[in-house]
A and B are shown apart, each in its own frame.
With several copies, the nearest count.
Chain A
Amino acid sequence: MVDLSVDLGFLKLKNPVMAASGTFGYGLEFQPLYNLNLLGGLVVKGLYFKPREGNPPPRLAESPCGLINSIGLQGIGVEAFCREILPWLADLTTAVIANVCGEEEGEYARVAEYLSRHPGLAALELNISCPNVREGGKCPAQDPEATYRTVKRVRQASSLPLITKLSPNVTDITAVALAAQEAGSQAVSLVNTFLALAIDLESRKPKLGNVLGGLSGPAIKPLAMRMVFEVARKVKIPVIGLGGIFNYQDALEFMVAGASAVQVGTANFVNPQACPEIIKGIEDWAESQGIKRLSEIVGSLKF
């Protein structure tokens, strides 16, 4: 028997595989397909304080081995979430993580504070990296100082463990990761989507109603993996890796590059069974390699 558990310090996961925010709804949507308690963790859709309409359609476009989205964080808001969804999620034995959004620093803090007052959450993931909500795709995670300020503010507003989700649309992602660590974040997750444009030649219009969107899926995997590798060598806090993970090999590669745990996003659409299959695949692989504790492989890249 392989020990698949992951100890992030502030949180112990039964295995390293979590469903990524925005690709797994509020969790309920996948309930008909498999037992959610198989998951290492589950990050719900981004939450603002108030309900939010999101961006004009079309909101999705395909690109080679990738998906571009501009959902714009449509969602029910933190009150409805705590009232209607969280009690149900709280009964799961998997780690439930809320994805915290805000138009400005104050809103991030308010959302975090509100969520902290309700039982059932294992941690907060601070989404300072969504490219779909501000003009031109800008976000706080593109600037170490804005990152520091936002994390600090949320850190003070909530006692829940904090994971800061980083943007890949930066020159030096390690600087932003260090700022998050400095401000008291207990972990970083990376990456969010890459700012992208797709055009419909016939109409000469952007394929997305919001013009720009965020690229996810296998296309970005080597870029996300490079960033995980860079960040894991710089920070002391655990790194959660994501970006194009579609099978157990992908997940393990991220761990070898330095990720203590991983998240699976777009793959949930292509293969709704992706998460449990990846967990099973990791277990079988570790067994075949004679690995007793999976966490041994974290950062084991030979270079």
Chain B
Amino acid sequence: MFQDKNARIIKTESWGNYFLLRLAAAEIAQKSKPGQFLMIRVSPGLNPLLRRPLSIHDCSGSEVEIFFQVTGKGTELLSQKKPGDHLDVLGPCGGGFSLLPEFKDKEIFCVGGGRGLAPLYFLARELQTAGARPVVFYGGQTLSDLPLKKRLDEAGWETNFSTDDGSFGFHGLVTQLAEKELMKRKPSFLFGCGPEAMMTRLAEICQQAVLPAEFSLESIMGCGLGACWGCSRKIKKNGEIKYLRICQDGPVFPAEEIIWSGD
């Protein structure tokens, strides 16, 4: 865990409401694993006050990337940053996705809805490096919600796209597309990230298909360090239901431990 008060922005890219920032933050980059996140101070001022949690979208050498959607004041401020600006970044926070040796040569589904794809890109890359066969699913409402399409097309693994309105790829929800493929292809594992409703449905599908899965959860966060217990959520651990910290005990949890908010 490092606080880099002066992580320099090396590159920015944007597509409508979606933004990608690449940061020079050597200590953080060297320790980062897929599924971990950064706590970023969006302005040196006091309003908004809290850091914002953002997944590590990619990482190599001494650089990390974030990919985010503007959803409020904090991400708005972040979206205005330019190359050369500096950010106060804390990380890597939390635990990552499970990268198991037995994934080698197996098909591993990575299913992301909208900005939920953020942590899955880094994950898919690491899976591929480790000899597994990532199959990425990327869904959005319409084509413009799939800004990472080009990047994924170039990545060298299989990516399947879906849009709710059929403007690109599979016409329907990404959960429907994933379910269809899952029945056909019997992957060994599924990783998911996206809106709560999407992940809830995906967890059901996995349970029915007896497919082990992990999901990355969100919560508003105070510290990102496990110190404030502000991010807690009910989790089933060893049969017991307890409030666990998304930031420290997660953000990635095995499907069977998660109590979905619709439940």
Contact = CB atoms under 8 A, between A and B. Distances in A.
Direct contact of A and B (CB under 8 A): yes
A180 interface: no
Given A58-B220, A64-B46, A270 B228 contact: no
Given A270-B41, A270-B51, A65 B232 contact: no
A25 B46 contact: no
A29 interface: yes
Contacts of B221: 60
Contacts of A24: 227
Residue of B1, B51, B223 contacting most chain A CB atoms (<10 Å): B223
B47 interface: yes
Contacts of B212: none
B231 A25 contact: no
B54 to A, nearest CB: 16
A41 to B, nearest CB: 16
Interface in A31-76: 32-33, 45, 53-54, 57-62, 64-67, 69, 71, 74-75
A54 B243 contact: yes
Contacts of B88: 271
B169 interface: no
Contacts of B3: 33, 271-273
Contacts of B50: 60, 62, 67, 269-270
Interface residues of A: mostly helix, strand, loop or mixed?
A: loop
A238 interface: no
A60 B222 contact: yes
A212 B228 CA distance: 17
B49 A67 contact: yes
A69 B228 contact: yes
Contacts of A217: 46, 49
Contacts of A158: none
B232 A54 contact: yes
A61 B49 CA distance: 10
B242 interface: yes
Nearest to A19: B227
A119 B242 CA distance: 30
B contact residues, range = 20 to 34
A269 B51 contact: yes
Interface residues of B: mostly helix, strand, loop or mixed?
A: loop
Interface residues of A, number: 35
B110 to A, nearest CB: 27
Given A53-B242, A270-B41, A270-B50, A74 B225 contact: no
A65 B46 contact: yes
B226 interface: yes
A23 interface: yes
Interface string A214-244: 0001100000000000000000000000000
A194 B219 CA distance: 23
Interface in B1-60: 1-3, 5, 41, 46-51
A22 interface: yes
B127 interface: no
B219 A57 contact: yes
B189 interface: no
A114 interface: no
A51 B199 CA distance: 31
Residue of A33, A60, A66 contacting most chain B CB atoms (<10 Å): A60
A71 B245 CA distance: 12
Interface string B218-241: 011111111111111100000000
A203 to B, nearest CB: 13
B90 interface: yes
A10 interface: no
Contacts of B248: 29
B41 A58 contact: no
A271 B224 CA distance: 11
A74 B232 contact: yes
Contacts of B243: 53-54, 57, 74
Across the A-B interface, the 10 shortest Cβ-Cβ residue pairs: A25-B227, A29-B227, A60-B230, A32-B1, A269-B223, A74-B229, A29-B225, A65-B46, A269-B222, A59-B230
Interface of A: 22-25, 29-30, 32-33, 45, 53-54, 57-62, 64-67, 69, 71, 74-75, 217-218, 246, 266, 268-273
14 contacts: A23-B223, A25-B225, A25-B227, A30-B227, A32-B1, A33-B3, A45-B229, A59-B229, A59-B230, A60-B220, A69-B222, A268-B227, A269-B51, A272-B225
